[in-house]
Amino acid sequence: MSESEITAWLGTQQDAMVALLGDMVGIDSGSYDKAGIDAVGAVIGRFLESHGLAVETLTQSRHGDCLRATLPGHAGEGNAGRNIVLMGHRDTVFPDGETTRRPFTIRDGVAYGPGVADMKAGLTMNCFILAAFARFGGAPAPLVGLFTGDEEIGSPEGRPVIEAEARHARVVFNSEPGRVSGNVVTGRKGGVFMAFRVTGKAAHSGGNFAAGISAIEELACKIQAIHALTDPDRGITLNVGLVSGGQSVNTVAPWAEGQIDLRYVDPGDKDDIMARVGAIIDRSFVAGTRAELTVRGEFLPLTQSASARRLFDLYVSAAAASGFHTDGEFTGGCADSGFTAAVGAPTICAVGPVGGEAHSPDEFLRIDSLVPRAQACARAIIRLDQAGL
């Protein structure tokens, strides 16, 4: 039976998984490092092609290329003939040189390094699941491995590729890291990344102070007003996380910039909050200043449809058969899974190996979760027909 063959083979692959993971973690691949992200893609492409999968490169102009690996499966009718998608991103939040400062290491069964959990372990898992089905067959529909390159900045180029794939998907497994609890993610906030620039007027801060118009003072006023829109009870948060500006310490600042992170739960709240932010940007707290707002990236909320609930129940059962318990949880973090859910594809997120402390120097991955999480995902794929998906 293919399920027993696939899960048995995956059970022998932990060392090979760790080797592939180490190769990927050893490459700097920050979101704006196209060459590094594409180098990680080359590692993935070579692995998949060596296991008989066809790999297509979807070239992107600014960020990492998208890779689309395909494996033919049973051609059913209607929804049953749609693709089963395994998804993940290759970019990290870390700067160039981070892999030298913090190389891939393993201590007491725990792996460390930039992007080790978020989400190069999930990419590794997807690679081995695809390789297992290529070796033994048994997929109830064609399999697609989608490896994108700009998720950490809102998928400005990857989003159209993801949505196009999801519109033809039977189900989507997004291999973001499993929670420290072992849970998967069934709900996520939506998010919008914005930047605003304030223009004032330069003047000597000692000899001609009154002639100046401070963009930094205006920036400070806007930050306070933007942060005041936060409403924790509704799950709405706004954070100006980056600021810059000014010409010199003895010059009234002629310009200033800030970057805003907005998170929300209810899709209906987004337009209201965006309008309020826009009104703050349009208002001049300091006479003579002007400002403009730019949206740089956006994530949609992940909400659980009825079919996604069936997919979740199926995964829970597959996890139990693979030796671990899991449940679903909500997180304020955003992910590409919101895009796939929004176009109607039954989606489950954070099915990747278990890790934590993402985006920090303490990021870690539990090595002993690599194989069971791969087996659970493979079992869920094989059992889709049984679940009516």
One-character DSSP codes across 102-171: S--EEETTEEESTTIIIIIHHHHHHHHHHHHHHHH---SS-EEEEEES-GGGT-TTHHHHHHHHHTTEEE
Q: Give the pLDDT confidence score for residue 297 in this predicted structure.
A: 87
Q: Is residue 188 within 8 Å of 265, Cβ to Cβ?
A: no
Interaxial angle between packed helices 370-382 and 14-25, expressed in degrees from 0 to 180 and rounded to the nearest 10: 110
Classify domain 190-299 by CATH number.
3.30.70.360
| pLDDT > 90 in the chain, percent | 92
Which residues have C-beta within 8 Å of that of residue 360, sequence separation ≥ 6? Answer: none
User: 35 in the Ramachandran plot: left (φ > 0), alpha (ψ -120 to 50) or beta?
Assistant: alpha
Residue 131 in this model has a pLDDT that exceeds 70? yes
Q: Is residue 124 within 8 Å of 20, Cβ to Cβ?
A: yes
Rg (CA), the chain: 23
Q: Give the pLDDT confidence score for residue 75 in this predicted structure.
A: 62
What's the rounded Cα separation, in Å, for the pair 154 and 342? 15
Q: Is residue 301 within 8 Å of 203, Cβ to Cβ?
A: no
What's the rounded Cα separation, in Å, for the pair 44 and 188? 28
* Three-state secondary-structure class, residue 278: helix
Q: What is the band of 2 on the pLDDT scale with cuts at 50, 70, 90?
A: confident
Domain residues of the chain, as ranges?
2-189+301-382, 190-299
Quick one: which of 206, 194, 195, 201 has its CA closest to 284? 201
Q: What is the tens place of the pLDDT at every residue in 300-335?
A: 999 899 999 999 999 999 999 999 999 999 998 899
CB atoms within 10 A of CB 324: 16
Would the CATH topology of 2-189+301-382 be identical to that of 190-299?
no
What's the rounded Cα separation, in Å, for the pair 186 and 192? 20
Domain 2-189+301-382 part of CATH 2.60.120.10: no
Residue 147 in this model has a pLDDT that exceeds 80? yes
Give the phi and the psi of residue 103 in degrees, each rounded to 5. Answer: -65, 160
Strand partners, 242: 259
Residue 162 in this model has a pLDDT that exceeds 60? yes
| pLDDT > 70 in the chain, percent | 98
Q: Residue 265 carries which DSSP code?
A: S
Q: What is the tens place of the pLDDT at every residue in 352-380?
A: 999 999 999 999 999 999 999 999 999 99
Q: What is the tens place of the pLDDT at every residue in 247-303?
A: 999 999 999 999 999 999 998 899 999 999 999 999 999 999 999 999 988 999 998
Q: What is the DSSP string of 44-102?
A: HHHHHHHTT-EEEEE--SSSPPEEEEEE-----SGGGGSEEEEEEE--BSPPTTHHHHS
* Three-state secondary-structure class, residue 287: coil
